[in-house]
């Protein structure tokens, strides 16, 4: 049901991924997660895939793609094989959504634009995400009837049940989540036929052969949705590692709109990227010099010392 990348090695090697969303400037929070993802793969002799999650046509652009590439290279991170752009894989991801609909696991939905908008981007902890009440479940026999009755294009929602999903996260331990309680049936395809975040991530992780997902703890709640899709599609489940968030002095997650913490701003200010790498390493409990290259840490890296607690970032410390 899901195509695979024929260039992937035989089953066995660890395959991580760097998956920036080119909708703004990458910041220290991104650097922290990407460096950890890179170390997790490289320290185990694995490969690293690069994917631009550029499905948000209203915000993603080539300038941000180029900037993201410069930021990753500035940090000393490399990757294996060509960069994948999700915007160039719309058809295969759409086909997976339609296959779920044909199997009776998804249904047509013509509900509010706000729900659709939320499905485009990755949901983050602390952001309001109303539970979908199932308004359109069982309402239409097929897509054609739905569009005739609604008088407009419709999206597709994945139908959830009351089962409890249990999964292990290497940092947060055993996790439990019931999708019927939050968020309810969730969008996998928008009205404009753009795949939603949850489906596109699952399909492209499978396509790239990803075995280890390292990302911020704000995406921990997305894991049950993605596991539900993986099981519906009969795909292997990767190992999950949700690393601590980088927050400001008031405990707020860093955002792309905060340019003072952007990697571009740090680079323009003359900050040595090895200082950033050292900062990430020390957050993991490693004893390293104040300036160290990413490659120099690979042999001593382990996620075992990473804790789930958010890490405060004092921006003034970077500009002294």
> Which pLDDT value is given to residue 127?
59
Taking only Cα atoms into account, the Rg of the chain, rounded to an integer number of angstroms, comes to 20
User: How many Å separate Cα 207 from the centre of its chain?
Assistant: 15
Ranges of the chain whose pLDDT falls below 70 = 1-11, 112-129, 256-260, 316, 319-320
Q: How far apart are the first and last CA of the chain?
A: 54
Q: In sequence order, which ranges of 212-298 are alpha helices (DSSP H)?
A: 223-232, 263-268, 273-283, 294-297
Which of 81, 2, 27 has the alpha carbon at shortest distance from 216?
27
pLDDT digits (tens, 9 = 90+) for 190-226: 989 999 999 999 999 999 999 999 999 999 999 999 9
> Which pLDDT value is given to residue 121?
57
Is cis: bond before 310, omega within 30 of 0?
no
Which domains, and CATH codes, for the chain? 15-86+208-226+233-319 (3.40.50.620), 90-199 (3.90.800.10)
**pTM, 2 dp:** 0.89
> Which pLDDT value is given to residue 206?
97
Cβ neighbours around 115 below 10 Å, total: 19
> Which pLDDT value is given to residue 4?
41
> Which pLDDT value is given to residue 255?
75
Report yes or no: 291 and 275 within 8 Å, Cβ to Cβ.
yes
């Amino acid at each position: 049901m899901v195509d695979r990348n024929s260039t992937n090695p035989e089953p066995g090697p660890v395959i991580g991924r760097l998956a920036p969303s080119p909708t703004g400037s990458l910041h220290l929070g991104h650097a922290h997660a990407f460096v950890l993802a890179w170390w997790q793969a490289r320290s185990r002799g694995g490969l690293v895939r690069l994917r631009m999650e550029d499905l948000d046509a209203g915000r993603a652009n080539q300038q941000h793609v180029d900037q993201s590439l410069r930021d990753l290279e500035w940090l000393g991170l490399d990757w294996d094989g060509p960069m994948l752009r999700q915007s160039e894989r719309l058809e295969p991801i759409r086909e997976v959504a339609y296959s779920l609909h044909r199997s009776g696991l998804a249904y047509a939905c013509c509900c509010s634009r706000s729900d659709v908008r939320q499905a485009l981007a990755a949901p983050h902890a602390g952001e309001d995400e109303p539970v979908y009440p199932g308004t359109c479940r069982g309402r239409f026999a097929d897509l054609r009837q739905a569009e005739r009755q609604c008088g407009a294009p419709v999206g597709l929602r994945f139908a959830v049940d009351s089962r409890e999903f249990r999964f292990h996260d290497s940092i947060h331990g055993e996790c439990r989540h019931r999708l019927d309680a939050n968020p309810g049936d969730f969008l996998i395809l928008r009205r404009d036929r753009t795949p939603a975040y949850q489906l596109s991530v699952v399909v492209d992780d499978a396509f790239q052969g990803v075995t280890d997902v390292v990302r911020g703890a704000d995406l921990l709640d997305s894991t049950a949705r993605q596991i539900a899709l993986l099981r519906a599609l009969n795909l292997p489940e990767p190992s999950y590692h949700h690393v601590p968030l980088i927050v400001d002095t008031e405990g707020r997650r860093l955002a792309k709109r905060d340019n003072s913490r952007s990697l571009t701003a740090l680079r323009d200010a003359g900050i040595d990227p090895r200082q950033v790498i050292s900062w990430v390493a020390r957050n993991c409990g490693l004893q390293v010099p104040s300036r160290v290259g990413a490659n120099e840490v690979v042999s001593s890296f382990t996620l075992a010392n990473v804790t789930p607690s958010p890490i405060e970032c004092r921006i003034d410390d970077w500009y002294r």
